[in-house]
Structure 1
Amino acid sequence: MKYLTYLFVLIVLSCGKDEDTLPKFANELLGKWQLEATKISPGDIVENWTIVTNGPIFEFKANGSYTHNEKACGGIVNGIFSTNDQVLTLRYHCESNAIETNFNMNFSEGNLILSNVGCIEECSYKYRKME
C-alpha cells in the first residue's frame, strides 16, 4: 500500500497542463520553403506541375511560429502552426478575425507538398527547401 501511495504521488506530479506545451510539429518542416509549382484544377485532371517564379515563402520556426510573405491581410502573415499526422494547421489573425487553415502535408523528393483539406479538385502546392 505504501508503494501505491508513492506511485500515485509520482503520477500526479508528472502530469502537466496542455497549455504549457508547444504545438506538435514535424521537425522536417522547420526552415524556409519557397513555392515552386502548383497543380490547380478548374475541374479537369491535372497531371503536370505549373512552375511558379519567385513564389511566396513560408518560414517555420522551432517555437511553433511561422511567417508567410504572400501579403495576405495587408502584410506579411505571422502565426502559429502545428501538425497532426499528415495535416498542417496554420493559425493567424487578419484584422479582427482569427483564421485557421488546414493542409494535407507530405514530403516527396525533398519537397513539401501541401493540398487544401476538403478540396474536391486538384489543389496542390509544391515548396522547395531554401535553408
Structure 2
Amino acid sequence: MIVETATLGSRAVGEALDLPELDGDRSLRMLLRTLVEQGLVAYEAHRSRSALLHILTPADLVEGASTGRYGREPRELPAPPTFDTAYIRAVEAFNDELFFAFLDDVRITDLDDIVTIEPRSRLRLVRLVALTG
C-alpha cells in the first residue's frame, strides 16, 4: 500500500510511503496506529538531525550566493508526544473531520469499517485547513 498525505489548498504533497506490510483486511483505526508509530519515529529522527551542526559544502555556498541564505542554526525541537497522546489526537482529528481518508479514491467515513488493501492500493490522507476572512 502507498500512503500519501496532502493539505487541501496547498501544492505541496507529502512524501509517499510504500508500506507493503499493511496489505490485507484492516480498519482505518488499525492503519492509524501504524502511521502514528511511524510518524513518531520519523519526527524523532528529524529532531536528532536538527540538533546537529551542519558543515557548509561548496554546493551550499553556491546556493547561498543565489538565495542569500547560508545554512541555519541548529535548533531545539520539542519532544514528541507519547504514542497514546498522538494516537488519540489522530482519532479525534478524524472524528472532527480535520482530515479525510481515501482508499483508492473511495472515502473512508468510519474508523472501524474493514477495507481490503491490495499491494498497489493508495491511502490518501487529506488535511483540511480552516479558511479565514
Per the normalisation by structure 2, the TM-score is 0.22
Bigger Cα Rg: 1
Q: TM-score, normalised to structure 1's length?
A: 0.22
Relative contact order: is structure 1 or structure 2 higher (C-alpha 8 Å, sep ≥ 6)? 2
Q: Compare the two structures and name the one with the higher helix fraction.
A: 2
Answer 1 or 2: which has greater strand percent: 1
